[in-house]
Structure 1
């Protein structure tokens, strides 16, 4: 995947994950972008565990995989943030 694809898929996935997940997530557009890009890596790993293909470029599948990973990261963030309060 090219850099521009990573940025666009990451931003879309980060926005979708924040929209889907309830609660306070980390804020800001840059954090959302990083969340989506990291989500693509996490989602690709998780999908790879069950024999699928991870994020492959600018397509719907990559956005879904990245969103799945971003949701997992937001879930972990919310667990940690809730315990530290």
Structure 2
């Protein structure tokens, strides 16, 4: 059940990040989900570096969206 929850939350995070950063993005469900999952990992890492989260504690939804937006920004810069 944990993997399914990760996929669903990753998809929602990816959708919100793409909504907040409008532009031309290729990719459908799978790339949006991967964006959200990677964004959650980035949000967790940044939160731990700033002392907001302890080791083993996942990032919240807002931090995950911010992480996904960072990943989306970097991806757009690399594919330009």
User: What range describes the TM-score normalised by the shorter chain of this pair?
Assistant: 0.7 to 0.9
d(CA) in 2 for partners of 1:23, 1:75? 11
Q: Deviations over 1:19-40 (max 9, x none)?
A: 0112222321111001101111
TM-score by length of 2: 0.83
TM-score by length of 1: 0.79
| Moved beyond 3 Å, runs of 4+ | none
d(CA) in 1 for partners of 2:49, 2:26? 28
d(CA) in 2 for partners of 1:26, 1:66? 21
| 3-state secondary structure, aligned to 2:27 | coil
1:62 to 57, 60, 69: 60
5+ residue gaps, structure 1: none
Give matches, 1:20-35, under 5 Å: 20-35=20-35
5+ residue gaps, structure 2: none
**Aligned pairs, how many?**
77
